[in-house]
Each structure stands twice: as structure tokens, then as C-alpha cells.
Amino acid sequence: MDIRSKIRLFVDSPLGEGQSILLARDQANYLFNVMRLNIGDFISVFNGKDGEWQAEVLQANKRKGIIIVKNQSMPQLLPPDVWLLFAPIKKTRTDFIVEKATEMGVSRICPVFTDYTNSDRIKQSRLQAHSIEAAEQCGGTYVPPVDELSTLTSVLKSWPKERHLLFCDEHKVGENVKSMKATKSDKWAILIGPEGGFSDSEVMHLKSLEFVTSISLGPRILRADTAAVAALAIWQMQMGDWK
């Protein structure tokens, strides 16, 4: 069978031919109640590491169900090794950033607390669930892990020096792509500030670090969620898997 079901489900189980999987209650509800699938129907499943597989419904009721894995329909596709560091903003827009980062293809999502960050907590499990949903939706086979919130200071203190950090600076003009392309690195991260931008001392500190390059995202001031997508698009096109 080389038909891929458009219904895609993330499952937290190993995937291989003949493997049977007991569905979680919310998954069973979605498949059999919302989508009205029946025994014998196929869905696509992925677990973030074994690619995408087609699986057949073996048992179906509204609260539970069993599927059996048949054949692989897509190999595992890892995104390029780029992290997104962002300062949490309002709830909906934070959810959007996680969704967009997953669609755009990042390897890790790191919420950081900066001088002008308003929101001092996140719910990691909720953001991780958003990332899973976005992966189901966008046809990807990888789910970026979402870290717990850390301060930017502590993240920079323990930074792995071989990873290059692109910092989106509202005041910078020009020379973007050139300075990005001139940097020889295969590990990257992109840092997006909160709505109020970065403090002067944060900007000074960032600019003093050897592993940091600053780029501009044009003459208008972008919201944090717009900036995340824009910066990732430019990076993917120049350095990542859109080349």
C-alpha cells in the first residue's frame, strides 16, 4: 500500500511491522468519535524517531482502541540542528510560536526569561502538546522537545560554544545574509526577544559573545511570533533544509 492516510497521530510507542498499539482515550475519542473511523480503516502514525507508518484499526470504541502497524510510509526526517530561543509572551501567541517553530523545522524549543519578559511561567506540558499537534498537522515525523523556562543569563552562561546563535536585533541594519553565510557552523540557534525587545545590558552582553551574530528583520518592528517565523524562514533558506 503506498497510500498515506491524511489522519496523522503521534504515538509514544516503538513502531515496526506487526506492532500493536493501545490508543490513549483522547486518541480513541478523536479517531472513532470525531473522525468516525471504523475497524479496517488506516491511519498514519509516527513517534518522532521511526518515521511514518500506516496502521490499521483493529478495535474501535469511543474510549479505547487498538491499531496494528503495517508498513512504513515515510522515513524519519530530522530537521536541521537549529534551536529556537524565545521569550514567552501572551498565551495564544506563545502557543503560536511553538506551533510555527515545529512547522518551520527546529530541533529544540527553548523558552527563555529576559529582562523585559512579562510572563514568568509557562506550562511545559501544554507547549509540548502544541508541538505534537503541529507535527501531526504539518506532515513532519519529528517533534521538537520544549524545554522548561530558564533565564537567558543562565542559558548563555552554560552555552555550548560550538553552537552559533543568531540574535534578531531591532536596531541592526544590513549585511544579514552575508554574515550568516560567512559563519561556519552546523549547530545553530535563533533568539527572539519579547514584545518590549531586549534591554541595553542584554544587547551589550549578547554582542560581546563570540558565538553570537546579530541580524535585522527589516525596518518595521515585528511581533515576536512574526519574527520567529521570519527568522526561521531566512535561516532555512540559507542554511537549512529549504536550500
**Per CB under 8 A, 241 contacts its own copies:** yes
Q: Which of residues 83-102 bind its own copies (CB under 8 A)?
A: 99-100
Where is 104: in which H helix or E strand? helix 91-104
- Nearest to its own copies of 81, 103 (CB atom): 103
**Per CB under 8 A, 209 contacts its own copies:** no
**Per CB under 8 A, 223 contacts its own copies:** yes
CB of 143 to its own copies, least distance (A): 12
Contact 24, 63 (CB under 8 A): no
Binding window for its own copies (CB under 8 A); candidates: 19-27, 58-66, 148-156, 230-238? 230-238
Return d(Cα 173, Cα 236) in angstroms, integer: 20
- Nearest to its own copies of 122, 234 (CB atom): 234
Query: If 0-12 CB within 10 Å is exposed, 13-18 middle and 19+ buried, where does residue 126 land?
Result: middle
The pattern of x and - marking residues 173 through 202 that bind its own copies according to CB under 8 A reads -x-xx-------------------------
Q: Which of residues 117-176 bind its own copies (CB under 8 A)?
A: 137-140, 174, 176
Chain centroid to CA 136: how far? 12
CB of 101 to its own copies, least distance (A): 10
Where is 198: in which H helix or E strand? none
Q: What is the maximum alpha-carbon separation in the chain? A: 61
Strand partners, 86: 111, 192
CB of 68 to its own copies, least distance (A): 27
CB of 243 to its own copies, least distance (A): 8
Return d(Cα 57, Cα 87) in angstroms, integer: 41
Three-state secondary-structure class, residue 1: coil
**Per CB under 8 A, 216 contacts its own copies:** yes
- Using CB under 8 A, pick the residue from 98, 110, 229, 239 that binds its own copies: 229
CB of 136 to its own copies, least distance (A): 11
Return d(Cα 136, Cα 159) in angstroms, integer: 31
Contact 78, 107 (CB under 8 A): yes
**Per CB under 8 A, 234 contacts its own copies:** yes
Beta-strand runs (E) in 1-64: 8-10, 20-22, 42-46, 52-60
Site for its own copies, rule CB under 8 A = 77, 99-100, 103-105, 137-140, 174, 176-177, 216-223, 226, 229-234, 236-237, 240-243
